[in-house]
Amino acid sequence: MLNIDEPLPPLNWLKTFATAAEVLNFTAAAKSLNMTQSAVSQQIRLLEDHLQQPLFHREHKKLTLTNTGMAYLPAVQEALELIQRSTRDIFSPVKYGTLTLQVNTAFLLLWLAPRVKEFTHLYPDITLRFISINWDNDRLGMSTDLIISHGRGTWHNVEMHQLLTPKLRPFCSPKIAKQIKNGATLNDFALIDVIGNHQQWNDWLKATGNIAPNKHVKHQVDTAAASVQLAIQSVGVCLAYDELAAKEVSNGSLVAPFDEYVETVDNYYLIHNTDRPLSKTATVFKDWLLGDCN
């Protein structure tokens, strides 16, 4: 059994393992690493001896990962990526950095995507890596610089910044808007709720004193981006933040038929772990984003 106090395996062994595991061929790995096939095989064997477990099944002309190897590979890949990115970020000018951002799908599609060009114009050599998420319990990975999530803001050991005004109101297509005269006429249309939001249509109707629809025809989606698209296509009426619907309102594909809002306990938050410093690229992105949201 491996002693947890044993030194970590050398970095070059781990890099060789990750490369070989990706291509499942020691000869191809050797070519990629500019090594000999025997050197690759030896480093893998030394790593397996160090860990006291096999990482590969070696069959005739076939190489596959063991269960242990499959479990170990993602951790090794993420650690190597973090080292590479941190080295580049700390020792290279900021303009050559890479930013990895976990971002709520709706915020990415409805708010951030139309503004990315502005950021890339300011920092044309920063590489952006977006990973879409939906739920507020998604965690920051080792190699993630920042996260934009939707929820109550109850995460721990993180720094948080609210990005939007915490209130919702109805939006629909111009075609439907022409037919909505008051709250009662919502009876004629499906209402679209976003799963996971703490404020839904019932909350808006109650807060604004409008008459609740009798039919209770509702559709449910798991992202506000889908609710907005369904509203644009006249499938029904959605609830959305003004900031997320602004582009669609400006181009005429969405209309706000009511001025009344419902206050929300949810918001979109920019988050980063407090247990490690922000990278240079994360710092410039954070400053840009908060400046654009304020």
Residue ranges per domain, the chain? 11-90, 98-160+271-293, 167-263
Give the number of C-alpha atoms closer than 13 A to the C-alpha of residue 203, restricted to the C-beta side: 16
pLDDT of residue 14: 94
Fold observed for domain 167-263: D-Maltodextrin-Binding Protein; domain 2 (3.40.190)
pTM for this structure? 0.69
Is it true that 11-90 and 98-160+271-293 share their CATH fold? no
- Residue whose tokens read 């500019």: 34
User: Which pLDDT value is given to residue 156?
Assistant: 82
Q: Split the chain (294 residues) into runs of 10 and give each run's mean pLDDT.
A: 70 94 92 92 93 91 92 91 75 70 93 93 89 67 79 87 94 94 84 92 88 72 94 96 94 94 94 81 91 78
The CA-atom distances, in angstroms, between 226 and each of 4, 32, 107, 134 are 47, 42, 11, 12
Q: Interior CA angle at 202 toward 197 and 203, to 5°?
A: 65
The topology (CATH level 3) of 98-160+271-293 is: D-Maltodextrin-Binding Protein; domain 2 (3.40.190)
* Three-class SS of 265-277: CCEEEEEEECCCC
Q: How many Cβ atoms from other residues are within 10 Å of residue 99's Cβ?
A: 24
**Closest Cα partner for 176 from 111, 91, 255?**
255
**pLDDT, position 273:** 82
Q: What residues have CB less than 8 Å from 212, skipping those under 6 apart?
A: 202, 205, 206
What does the pLDDT read at residue 57?
93
The CATH code of domain 11-90 reads 1.10.10.10
